[in-house]
Amino acid sequence: MSVPGSPIAPKPPRRRHHGDLRRALVLAGLEAIEELGVAALTIRGLARRLGVSHAAPAHHFPDKLALLSAVASEGFRRFETALREEARAGATPRQRMQRIGRAYVRFALDHPATFRVMFGRELADCSQATSELQQASASAYAVLQETAEAAAGSREAGEVHAFAGWALVHGAALLYLDGALRPRLPADSAGRAAFEELVDAVLSRGPPAARRGSGGRAQKREAEANGPPPRRLPRKRASS
């Protein structure tokens, strides 16, 4: 089904009306998604925005999912860049791990719609066909895993390590984005700040299973050395 060889940029674009319509579609798609959400992204709308006919995009992407997949791949590339930059800025493996976690959440909060497309359901069902997306995604995860292995010391511990950290920041970001915390945290900028503090606290202290009764002193000490203690979640409002 798939031709062997380098999957990206197999042929130089012919650049007719827009220089490179394919690239323009991906970039405009990213913009449109961030502005209005995924549901507002239409092929015809993109075509109008770029000044081409409504069927022009079909010559670069067989269907809408393929276009979404290309948009998500671009998102993953930017995501990976952000993570790598942050990892490079950390001194110790442990610091790098925490910085990556924060950068992960920050990216999700800064580009919510892109993040959801990257990890969204639509692509999971059909992504077997788009190796570009799989590769971009795996490459981003590799940043986490490399850092986790260095922080954990061993390879196998690093794998569980990386998965747990990944799941933690991923879930936290999505819970915030999806509004699941909204009854407790407002969606405004103050709510975001409180949320990021909370994530910091969890990243420093470690989640519940490790915090049972005995032996919490060292953790607490380190938490205070790594950042401010978390502000408590505000109580739910009494009335709407």
Question: What does the binding site for DNA look like in residue numbers (CB under 7 A)?
Answer: 13-14, 16-18, 21, 41-45, 47, 52-56, 58-60, 62-65
- Between 131-152 and 93-110, two packed helices, what is the crossing angle to 10 degrees? 150
Distance of CA 195 to the CA centre of its chain: 17
What is the closest distance, in whole angstroms, from the C-beta atom of residue 186 to its own copies in the complex? 12
Task: Kindly identify the residues of this chain, within the stretch 141-160, that bind its own copies according to CB under 8 A.
Answer: 141, 148, 151-153, 156-157, 159-160
| Alpha-helix residue ranges (DSSP H) falling in the chain | 21-36, 43-50, 64-88, 93-110, 112-118, 121-126, 131-152, 155-177, 189-205, 217-226
Q: Which does 109 bind (CB under 5 to 8 A by kind): its own copies, DNA, none?
A: none
Indicate which single residue of 55, 89, 164, 193 sits in contact with its own copies (rule: CB under 8 A). Answer: 164
Task: Kindly identify the residues of this chain, within the stretch 213-232, that bind its own copies according to CB under 8 A.
Answer: 213-215, 218-219, 222, 230, 232
What is the closest distance, in whole angstroms, from the C-beta atom of residue 20 to DNA in the complex? 8
Q: Is 48 in the site for its own copies (CB under 8 A)?
A: no
Are residues 165 and 98 in contact, defined by beta-carbon separation less than 8 angstroms?
no
Are residues 54 and 15 in contact, defined by beta-carbon separation less than 8 angstroms?
no
Indicate which single residue of 45, 120, 186, 227 sits in contact with its own copies (rule: CB under 8 A). Answer: 120
Residue type, 38: V
What is the closest distance, in whole angstroms, from the C-beta atom of residue 21 to its own copies in the complex? 26
Indicate which single residue of 178, 190, 221, 224 sits in contact with its own copies (rule: CB under 8 A). Answer: 178
Q: Which does 94 bind (CB under 5 to 8 A by kind): DNA, its own copies, none?
A: its own copies
Q: Which of 185, 221, 191 is nearest to 206 (CA)?
A: 221
What is the closest distance, in whole angstroms, from the C-beta atom of residue 169 to its own copies in the complex? 7
Indicate which single residue of 55, 89, 180, 193 sits in contact with its own copies (rule: CB under 8 A). Answer: 180
- Residue 142, exposed/middle/buried by CB under 10 A (0-12, 13-18, 19+)? middle
> Burial code of 119-136, b = ≥16 C-beta within 10 A, e = fewer?
beeebeeebeebebbbeb
Shorter beta-carbon distance to its own copies: residue 88 or 212: 212
Shorter beta-carbon distance to DNA: residue 61 or 79: 61
